[in-house]
A and B are shown apart, each in its own frame.
Chain A
């Protein structure tokens, strides 16, 4: 599949499935790029800096994208999580 086509499918997935779901926690996910079968995304709103962003990414978003576009080998998060000022979950030591 060409990268342009991959981008379109992933964007559609974000628009129709992923973003409506993460909006429940005030979050959103943006597609930044697709290069050599690696998808680059950025998380915002409640996802930016969220203590569970990795779970949402690896156990949810990445799997969803890979199911829809099997050529994808990895989804990388390029978010500056340190700058998130309204994360849904904030970590604390235990």
Chain B
């Protein structure tokens, strides 16, 4: 039986989906997390603790582990583990992205530099430091611009500035986020802010799989809610895209060029692009699959999950189909409307009764402290829909969200 090492951060939404896929494939799973599991002592052969912030050390420890308990594939389940995953794969001689490419995809400044040098369309940009004087930086713009940390994900700390005053305010706000101890611990990237020219247009998200350097398109999602700032909260994703086939093709080409420019060659790719009259522009490309619970919108062939597809690729198993089911599908990541303590969620039954709604997963728990963007990075939950058309999917998601009521009390 093949043995699979899953790199699962304790904060990920992706645990259940990957474990379920592994179970379905009948593979033996070893789970590594950054903090020890309570049952690790009883199952040292299947539960492992690795420091995800120290890829070299983690790779050495994983190699030692693999000498006793051989590993056939390593799969990082989300953004936090792509670099350590590449390092472990390299140490074990397994097919995967290079460490260098994984690092490039994790750091927005490195990514932007490589994409720019390769001529992949993207915003003009510059890298600034927390040591710089924001008042001086603000004089040169450009405006409108988008300021973002180089190392965070889920739109955390991403802020638009239309003028010098907003620039300074955004800089200070990001600085506060970056000075929190858990982010400082991530290293030099925590001292940098990327300043990008704001690219007008609509946004799409591409899900793909790299096999021997060739990008296979798995799904293209439209994001019907405008993402014009000041914060960039992800909400609705609907697939298939309603863009013209030529536009979709240009988006896929652009994402493939971006992945190539970073040196990504194997495994899942998630890319965010803007589309306007000048064509597609890469906002970000990551060597991972779609985040949150959003992969529940995707089924391939006769019902294969995205996670099964990823595991099959990593294990060198046959992939019966890369074709997404025909039925339109969508997800709404339920944003946190304001800071506070979640007390109660009302209206879930009424929301689930809407035609097309498949599931509503509330992932925030009662009593949880809620932090909205740009400081926060979590969602209240996820709404999933399938219908006969992308328009109906979008309508169902919006109506379900309208019926949900989140009782949020002020923090003490």
Q: Find chain B residues with CB under 8 A from A21 CB.
A: 38-39, 41-42
Contacts between the two chains (Cβ within 8 Å), count? 110
| Structural contact, B39 and A85, CB atoms closer than 8 A | no
Instruction: Tell which of A1-9, A33-41, A58-66 binds the partner.
Output: A58-66
Answer yes or no: B220 CB below 8 A from chain A CBs.
Answer: no
Q: Find chain A residues with CB under 8 A from B154 CB.
A: 92-94
| Structural contact, B10 and A52, CB atoms closer than 8 A | yes
Q: Find chain B residues with CB under 8 A from A59 CB.
A: 19, 29-31, 37, 39, 43, 46-47
Q: Binary interface profile of A, 52-92, with partner B (CB < 8 Å = 1, else 0)?
A: 10111011110110000000000000000011111101111
Instruction: Tell which of B172-180, B242-250, B358-366 binds the partner.
Output: B358-366
Q: Find chain B residues with CB under 8 A from A82 CB.
A: 361-363, 365
Count chain A CB atoms within 10 A of each CB in B42, B78, B367 and give the residue with the most: B42
Asked, given contacts A22-B39, A93-B379, whether A85 binds B366 with beta carbons under 8 Å apart, the answer is yes
Answer yes or no: B23 CB below 8 A from chain A CBs.
Answer: yes
Answer yes or no: A18 CB below 8 A from chain B CBs.
Answer: yes
Q: How far is the CB of B244 from chain A (nearest CB, A)?
A: 30
Q: Find chain B residues with CB under 8 A from A90 CB.
A: 11, 365, 368, 378
Q: CA separation between A94 and B333, bound complex, in Å?
A: 13
Q: How far is the CB of B49 from chain A (nearest CB, A)?
A: 12
Q: Find chain B residues with CB under 8 A from A91 CB.
A: 11-13, 15, 363, 378
Q: Binary interface profile of B, 1-25, with partner A (CB < 8 Å = 1, else 0)?
A: 0000000111111011001000100
Answer yes or no: A12 CB below 8 A from chain B CBs.
Answer: no
Chain A residues 2-26 with CB under 8 Å of chain B are 17-18, 21-22, 24-25
Q: CA separation between A25 and B23, bound complex, in Å?
A: 25
Q: Find chain B residues with CB under 8 A from A44 CB.
A: none
Answer yes or no: B292 CB below 8 A from chain A CBs.
Answer: yes
Answer yes or no: B80 CB below 8 A from chain A CBs.
Answer: yes
Answer yes or no: B113 CB below 8 A from chain A CBs.
Answer: no
Q: CA separation between A55 and B80, bound complex, in Å?
A: 18
Asked, given contacts A59-B43, A84-B365, whether A92 binds B15 with beta carbons under 8 Å apart, the answer is no
| Structural contact, A55 and B13, CB atoms closer than 8 A | no
Answer yes or no: B377 CB below 8 A from chain A CBs.
Answer: yes
Q: CA separation between A64 and B79, bound complex, in Å?
A: 31
Count chain A CB atoms within 10 A of each CB in B16, B30, B80, B292 and give the residue with the most: B16
Q: How far is the CB of A81 from chain B (nearest CB, A)?
A: 8
| Structural contact, B291 and A94, CB atoms closer than 8 A | yes
| Structural contact, A60 and B10, CB atoms closer than 8 A | no
| Structural contact, A87 and B365, CB atoms closer than 8 A | yes
Q: Find chain B residues with CB under 8 A from A17 CB.
A: 42
Q: How far is the CB of B159 from chain A (nearest CB, A)?
A: 18
Asked, given contacts A52-B10, A91-B11, A91-B13, whether A58 binds B29 with beta carbons under 8 Å apart, the answer is yes
Closest to B153 in A: A94
Q: Find chain A residues with CB under 8 A from B23 CB.
A: 58
Q: CA separation between A26 and B314, bound complex, in Å?
A: 35
Q: How far is the CB of B198 from chain A (nearest CB, A)?
A: 23
Asked, given contacts A22-B38, A92-B378, A93-B292, whether A85 binds B80 with beta carbons under 8 Å apart, the answer is no
| Structural contact, B12 and A51, CB atoms closer than 8 A | yes
Complex partner residue of A64 from B15, B42, B153, CB under 8 angstroms: B42
Q: Find chain A residues with CB under 8 A from B79 CB.
A: 94
Closest to A48 in B: B365
Asked, given contacts A64-B42, A84-B365, whether A54 binds B379 with beta carbons under 8 Å apart, the answer is no
Answer yes or no: B216 CB below 8 A from chain A CBs.
Answer: no
Q: Find chain A residues with CB under 8 A from B37 CB.
A: 52, 55-56, 59-60
Chain B residues 316-368 with CB under 8 Å of chain A are 333, 361-363, 365-368
| Structural contact, A25 and B291, CB atoms closer than 8 A | no
Asked, given contacts A82-B362, A90-B368, whether A18 binds B11 with beta carbons under 8 Å apart, the answer is no
Q: Find chain A residues with CB under 8 A from B78 CB.
A: 94
Closest to B13 in A: A91
Given A21-B39, A87-B365, A94-B80, 11 new contacts (CB under 8 A)? A51-B10, A55-B31, A55-B33, A58-B19, A58-B23, A58-B29, A63-B46, A83-B365, A85-B366, A90-B368, A94-B78
Instruction: For the complex of A and B, list the 7 residue pairs with the smallest distance between their C-beta atoms, beginning with the closest.
Output: A60-B39, A92-B378, A89-B10, A94-B79, A93-B154, A85-B367, A93-B292
Give B residues with C-beta under 8 Å from A.
8-13, 15-16, 19, 23, 29-31, 33, 35, 37-39, 41-43, 46-47, 78-80, 153-154, 291-292, 333, 361-363, 365-368, 377-379
A/B interface sample: 9 pairs, CB < 8 A? A18-B39, A55-B15, A55-B47, A59-B31, A60-B37, A60-B42, A85-B367, A90-B365, A94-B79
